[in-house]
Amino acid sequence: MRSSERYGVTRREFLGTTLAGGVTVLAGGLMFQKLSAAESPAAKSSFLLGGDLTINRLGFGAMRLTGEGIWGWPPDRENAKKVLRRAVELGVNFIDTADAYGPEVSELLIAEALHPYPKGLIIATKGGNTRPGPNQWVPDGRPEYLTKCVEGSLKRLKLERIDLYQLHRIDPKVPVEESLGALKKMQEAGKIRHVGLSEVNEGEIERAKKVLPIVSVQNQYNIENRRSERVLEYCEKEKMAFIPWAPIGGSRASLAKTGSPIEAEAKKHGVSAVQLALAWLLYHSPVMVPIPGTSSLAHLEENIAAAKISLTAEDWKSIEALAARA
Ligand SMILES: NC(=O)c1ccc[n+]([C@@H]2O[C@H](COP(=O)([O-])OP(=O)(O)OC[C@H]3O[C@@H](n4cnc5c(N)ncnc54)[C@H](OP(=O)(O)O)[C@@H]3O)[C@@H](O)[C@H]2O)c1
């Protein structure tokens, strides 16, 4: 079943409360908003995370602000801070990071650029992945390690409480109940508001939910990789945020390259393939919160403008036909 049929009602339920202050277009059961160029697009379609945090659905991923191999400081530290500040100016209020990005660098840059934080800015970080070297990632889900991770992130981010703390990976050597038990204790101590998971299947989410409430899932997902479609459907049912990483295709930015499956459609609508890929994610599900990452101010502007794209149901039908099979 196509998403236009599948999501009509849900989309209205979710967006009906959040589209105040703009013109809403109803096309084939789907609601889109027409924005003037002067409006900050990312501010216009939101999701209620964990029942109490309103996040603008086009977020920002802060992993690409670090050095090569997600290791060390970027060559131009000031530029990285400019990108973060500009993202917020453009209406982004959901920034994804992790202690492992750099490691530590991404969190430190966020605090340097944005602290004291503007009201309503939500920083989602993660722990449970260690970094032996560039491009190397090794899970560590031991409770004592995760407790240290939370304390470290609080310090680096200059926060008293982390709004969304995500278990970066389930460590196959540690029962997930033990890892999440540590996060539950931190939540009870007031150091974490909400907990999310990353790279999980439905069974793992169910198991985690026996330990504590889970408000989000962050899995790899984009228009040419829909291996997590069932997890997305699960998130819709449970009203959890689905945060697709690699929304542009990841390190190779495959959707920005010539030959992208949506290149011709993008041209037809006068937008870039990256913009159409991001707009498709927002269209495809009301629980979708993409976090495109970039170290470039120009790419940031281009990506955030994707939230302005407003197409007819007929147009989306042609674009849906080009998406990878779920
Ligand atoms: N949970 C996890 O396990 C996990 C794993 C990976 C990532 N993440 C999170 O997800 C976020 C996004 O994922 P990602 O960074 O891997 O992939 P992505 O956002 O799909 O792509 C990022 C790449 O695309 C390029 N790019 C961005 N905008 C572009 C544009 N308009 N035109 C051309 N190229 C563009 C970037 O290079 P430039 O810097 O040159 O723009 C970068 O190389 C990360 O920042 C991180 O927060 C989570």
326 located within any domain: no
* Centre of ligand 1 from the C-alpha of residue 255, in Å: 11
pLDDT at residue 326, rounded to an integer: 84
Which atom of ligand 1 sits closest to the CA of residue 247? 20
Its domain, for residue 142, covers 3-320
Q: How many domains does the chain have?
A: 1
Residue 26 lies in a domain: yes
What pLDDT does residue 44 have? 56
Q: What was the pLDDT predicted at 42?
A: 44
- Structure token digits, residue 246: 């690699």
* pLDDT of amino acid 43: 41
Q: Is the distance from the beta carbon of residue 199 to the nearest atom of ligand 1 less than 6 Å?
A: yes
Is the shortest distance between the CB of 19 and ligand 1 below 6 Å? no
Q: Is residue 325 part of a domain?
A: no
Terminal C-alpha separation, the chain:
10
Asked, as a colleague might, if the bond just before 132 is cis with ω within 30 of 0, I would say no
Summarize pLDDT for 234-290 with one digit per residue, the tens. Answer: 999 999 999 999 999 999 999 999 889 999 999 999 999 999 999 999 999 999 999
Cβ–ligand 1 contact at 292 (below 6 Å): yes
Rounded distance from Cα 9 to ligand 1 centre (Å) = 31
Ligand 1 centroid, distance to 281 Cα (angstroms) = 15
What b/e sequence results for 131-163 when a residue is b if at least 16 CB atoms lie within 10 Å of its CB, and e otherwise?
beeeeeeebbbbbebbbebbebbbebbebeebb
Q: Please report, for the domain that includes residue 232, its CATH number.
A: 3.20.20.100
Q: Which segments in the chain show pLDDT lower than 50?
A: 1-43
In a domain, 158, yes or no: yes
Residue type, 324: A
The partner residues of 225 in beta bridges, in order of sequence, read 222
Q: Give the number of the atom of ligand 1 that is nearest the alpha carbon of residue 303.
A: 31
For residues 20 and 163, the answer to whether their CB atoms sit within 8 Å is no
The preferred substitution site among 106, 218, 248 for testing ligand 1, maximizing ligand atoms within 8 Å of CB, is 248
Whether the full predicted model's pTM is greater than 0.85, yes or no, is yes
Q: Catalogue the active-site residues.
A: 101
CA of 172 to the centre of ligand 1 (A): 26
Ligand 1 within 6 A of CB of 294: yes
